[in-house]
Amino acid sequence: MGSTRPTELLSDEACHDGGMPYVSTNPTTGLIEAEFDDFSDAQVDAGLELAAAQFQSWKTTSFEDRARYMITAAELLEGELPVHAQTLTKEMGKTFAAAKGEVAKCALTMRYYAEHAESLLAEVAMESSGSRSGVRFEPIGPVLAVMPWNFPLWQVVRFAAPSLMAGNVAVLKHASNVPQAALLLESVFRRAGFPEGCFVNLFIPGSKVASVIQDHRIAAVTLTGSEAAGMSVGAAAGGALKKCVLELGGSDPFVIADSADFEKTIPMAVTSRIQNNGQSCIAGKRFIVVDSRADEFLEKFTAAMTAVQMGDPLDPATVLGPVVSASQRAEVIGQVDDALERGAVALTGGVSAEGPGFFYPPTVLTGVTSEMRAGNEEIFGPVAVVHRVADLDAAIALGNDIPWGLGASIWAQDANEQQKGIEGLVAGMVFVNAVVGSMPELPFGGTKRSGFGRELSAIGMHEFCNAKTFFVA
């Protein structure tokens, strides 16, 4: 650990299937910064034992005590914010500003659940023929979280903070390219005073996830990641008759209606596509603009994307850093090249950057059809596909013409157009005049092949609770 060596020595093309350890590669330099071995079976067993044992006392710990630890964890993150942000930037390439924002959002969410968990989980009285009846929300046990690398702290905290406050304990299998983020969180929860076993980190390959799900000590599983991982985790959970929540990918529409205010829409379109270096599940990926506004949108959006400053993510002037890995960049190159070979046009970008690191420039494509990879796959990089359509009905129809449905947005000043988008777009979330985002007080999740179940808010907390009906005659 600690030494740096060229990535080529350990190709990230190979999947993490047990032969590979956890490797932290700096996407800006392409150099390996740290490596950690996978856990042995005995270490995994010990972790699960700790979690199961701790659940027996944690489930009866008062909300007040749980909140005290959670607020201490938030204070630690806030007090150590620049250090943790730098870890994120070096490990997965997001800009330092974005990394600081992610750490702060985690702390804010911890505070939110510390303050609100008791009321969000309050017993609900229900009218019935009995003298007293209703529903209680009780914790169910250790929940396994299989998490991705793109928001390496936030994805974990948005699961762990509500789960711990609900009285469950958390077992983390983080993505194999963000081991330092996993260790950072484990350290924060431990130093905040959470009893041992409340938050257990396991360094295991994807191929071992099914056996952990099947283990009698695990009560349920949540996955954020790709469709392939979703199918695998969902099948394992089904086979073990355990509850699962799946947060998967998408190719969300960013619909620009006739009444859109371009002063706001253009910069937000850029932010939506390049945030997190183009690697956000809820990024606007397909920009669908009505014909009456299309020429103006294309001109202004292309100019704004061209002006985006790409470079070292630690430099405060940088807006776009590298994508996470050599294989991720190769994927983006393949998708764009395929589109260009089949007749699409790059209005800006479209050619991979030279030099060290995994940089890919902001790119705007037009003329993309459903026969092209860029027309039927999620693009996890700073590449915007722009479609021109006749009117708002056609925009919504095209917006829905995908197998996924995560977070759509519509940009319109007119109330009728806004409502049409809210009702017509098939997605887990529809945002109006705002980039789709996640916040502790609102449910987050998708429909169709973007997964099922919800995180955040009371609805997310209830996913991993036993909604116990009681009836007193």
- The residues annotated with a catalytic role in the active site are 247, 281
Task: Tell me which stretch binds ligand NAP (CB under 6 A): 41-49, 97-105, 222-230, 414-422.
Answer: 222-230
Q: Tell me which stretch binds ligand NAP (CB under 6 A): 73-81, 147-155, 338-346, 458-466.
A: 147-155
Binding mask 150-179 for ligand NAP (x = CB under 6 A): x----------------------xxxx---
Of 70-78, 79-87, 135-143, 228-236, which part binds ligand NAP (CB under 6 A)?
A: 228-236
221 part of the interface to ligand NAP, by CB under 6 A: no
CA 446 to each of CA 102, 247, 377, 407, 428: distance values in angstroms, whole numbers, following the listed order: 21, 7, 17, 7, 4
Binding mask 26-45 for ligand NAP (x = CB under 6 A): --------------------
Using rule CB under 6 A, residue 340 touches ligand NAP: no
Query: Is residue 181 a contact residue for ligand NAP (CB under 6 A)?
Result: no
| 281 touching ligand NAP, by CB under 6 A | yes
The least distance separating ligand NAP from the CB of residue 15, rounded to whole angstroms, comes to 6
Closest separation between CB of residue 67 and ligand NAP, Å?
26
Which position among 406, 425, 427, 432 is part of the footprint of ligand NAP (CB under 6 A)? 406
Per CB under 6 A, the segment of 54-62, 76-84, 229-237, 312-320 that binds ligand NAP is: 229-237
Pick the closer one to ligand NAP by CB: 252 or 312.
Answer: 252
CB of 348 to ligand NAP, least distance (A): 24
Q: Is 435 in the site for ligand NAP (CB under 6 A)?
A: no
Q: Which is nearer to ligand NAP, 344 or 406 (CB)?
A: 406
Q: Smaller CB distance to ligand NAP: residue 259 or 327?
A: 327
The contacts of residue 289 (CB under 8 Å, 6+ apart) are 255, 256, 297, 298, 386, 387, 388, 389, 395
Q: Is 430 in the site for ligand NAP (CB under 6 A)?
A: no
What is the per-residue binding string for ligand NAP in 230-269, x denoting contact by CB under 6 A?
Answer: --xx-------------xxxx-------------------
Calpha distance 168→67 (Å, rounded)? 14
Binding mask 374-403 for ligand NAP (x = CB under 6 A): ----x-x-----------------------
The three-state (H, E, C) secondary structure of the chain, written as one string:
CCCCEEHHHHCCCCCCCCCCCEEEEECCCCEEEEEECCCCHHHHHHHHHHHHHHHHHHCCCCHHHHHHHHHHHHHHHHHCHHHHHHHHHHHHCCCHHHHHHHHHHHHHHHHHHHHHHHHHCCCEECCCCCCEEEEEEEECCEEEEECCCCCCCHHHHHHHHHHHHHCCEEEEECCCCCHHHHHHHHHHHHHCCCCCCCEEECCCCHHHHHHHHHCCCCCEEEEECCHHHHHHHHHHHHHCCCEEEEECCCCEEEEECCCCCHHHHHHHHHHHHHHHHHCCCCCEEEEEEEHHHHHHHHHHHHHHHHCCCECCCCCCCCCECCCCCHHHHHHHHHHHHHHHHCCCEEEECCCCCCCCCCCCCCEEEECCCCCCHHHHCCCCCCEEEEEEECCHHHHHHHHHCCCEECEEEEECCCHHHHHHHHHHCCCCEEEECCCCCCCCCCCECCEECCEECCECHHHHHHHCEEEEEEEEC
225 binds ligand NAP (CB under 6 A): yes
Task: Determine the interface stretch with ligand NAP among 46-54, 104-112, 219-227, 393-401 (rule: CB under 6 A).
Answer: 219-227
Backbone angles phi, psi at 270, to 5 degrees: -65, -50
Give least dist CB 218 to ligand NAP, A.
Answer: 13
Residues 441 to 460: which contact ligand NAP by CB under 6 A? Answer: 446
Spatial separation of the C-alpha atoms in residues 79 and 81, rounded to whole Å: 6
Among 133, 187, 211, 226, binds ligand NAP (CB under 6 A): 226
User: Per rule CB under 6 A, is residue 466 in the interface with ligand NAP?
Assistant: no
What's the one-letter identity of residue 371?
E
Nearer to ligand NAP, 145 or 392 (CB): 145
Shortest spacing between CB 453 and ligand NAP, in angstroms: 10
Nearer to ligand NAP, 224 or 272 (CB): 224
User: 287 or 452: whose CB is closer to ligand NAP?
Assistant: 452
Minimum gap (Å) between residue 110 Cβ and ligand NAP: 19
Residues 6 or more apart whose CB falls under 8 angstroms from that of 234 comprise 223, 244, 246
Q: Residue 274 CB, nearest distance to ligand NAP (Å)? A: 15
Establish if 218 lies at the interface with ligand NAP (CB under 6 A).
no
Q: Which residues contact 467 (CB under 8 A, 6 or more apart)?
A: 135, 136, 137
Tell me how far, at minimum, the Cβ of 188 lies from ligand NAP, in Å. Answer: 19
Beta pairing partners, 171: 144, 200
Site residues for ligand NAP per CB under 6 A: 15-16, 146-150, 173-176, 205-206, 209, 224-226, 229, 232-233, 247-250, 281, 378, 380, 406, 446
